[in-house]
Structure 1
């Protein structure tokens, strides 16, 4: 299992996915995994082999869900520091046919460098969005809930197993 290295002052932290998963719980496992992988990709593009300082990272998320928020918060503390913004109308990776919700994230550093990381189209099946809609409407059956939970776990595992290029598109913005 891969890790993320980030500095908190003078301390170098090594954060693995299991720690982030424990912090979040089991509500949105796919999002936790994609968020974790998105940070790995962004840090690699922005910093190479160097570990960034937590306090230097800001995040714009196209998705307002708790899985992405928790992955970003656990690693960077961006939410706590007021360096986390959600814009569900961010134009990239708008795959959900039922509502505005982007699967793209802009990770920036205080030195003006930014990278956009987006989930590849087709990673999430249409049924995933349909279950999300049912959940918002309160029409999930017990079987739906069980099937959706299994789907999220499967997508989580898949997100962790795929290569970065198979899962994400990374584009330097500045």
Structure 2
């Protein structure tokens, strides 16, 4: 993937773009290019961050044995369609109803209040994956606040697209441990359950 156009699905990459998972007693490998074909929108930053977050979770879940679609439950702090498609393509948790949002408001709109963090449970443990706080700059959120508001400027849409393209580039040019904080929690999650200490609004 070597296209740098801000409106393109493809970005240049340095890091591994594949992930393996057990599906119906068979280990399958999924490449990010499959997500590019699967996702029907233009949320490529969301696709990238969702895919990379699942790679970070997989690194922990597969330390003892390969993780399996059969027993995964996921809570996402990010409501965007790109993130959701990445999670579904890899884990099938969305279609199997073992996925929920941290804020379960029925919307895919991104906002300043969204969280770049995920809880992935394999029935034994829960892996908490959180994008480093300083990865997404304040200018990204400022642009997001202005878009589709009375304060939107003519250049905001292009600037926002460029930010997303730049962030996607960084996601594929830094190792996972430089992108995410990963914490292992001893308590597994059941479908629909929130992590301990977090409650429904």
TM-score strictly above 0.5? yes
SS at match of 2:172: helix
Instruction: Indicate conservation of the 8 Å contact 1:88/1:102, yes or no.
Output: no
Question: Is 1:123 aligned to 2:135, yes or no?
Answer: yes
1:24 to 39, 44, 61: 39
Q: Which residue of 2 aligns with 1:45?
A: 60
Question: 1:32 touches 1:70 (CA, 8 Å); kept in 2?
Answer: yes
| Equivalent position to 1:100, from 113, 124, 129 | 113
Between structure 1 and structure 2, the one with the greater Rg is: 2
Residues 157 and 99 (structure 1), Cα distance of their counterparts in 2 relative to 1, 3 Å cut: closer
Matched with 1:153 is 165
CA RMSD of aligned residues (A): 2.2
Q: Report what 2:3 is aligned to.
A: none
Alignment CA distance shift 1:148-1:7 (3 Å): same
Q: Which has the higher helix share?
A: 1
In 2, Cα distance between equivalents of 1:165 and 1:64: 23
Deviation larger for 61-70 or 131-140: 131-140
Structure 1, unmatched stretches of 5+, are 90-95
Deviations 1:67-87 (A, max 9, x none): 211110111111100011101
Contact residue 147 and residue 156 of structure 2 kept, 8 A: no
Unaligned runs of 5+ in 2: 1-15, 105-109, 187-201
Contact in 2 for aligned 1:88/1:100 (Cα 8 Å)? no
Contact 1:59–1:84 (CA under 8 A) maintained in structure 2: yes
Secondary structure in 1 matching 2:134: coil
Q: Distance in 2 between matches of 1:88 and 1:15?
A: 28
Q: CA deviation at 1:121?
A: 1.0
2:99 is the counterpart of 1:84: yes
Matched positions, count? 166
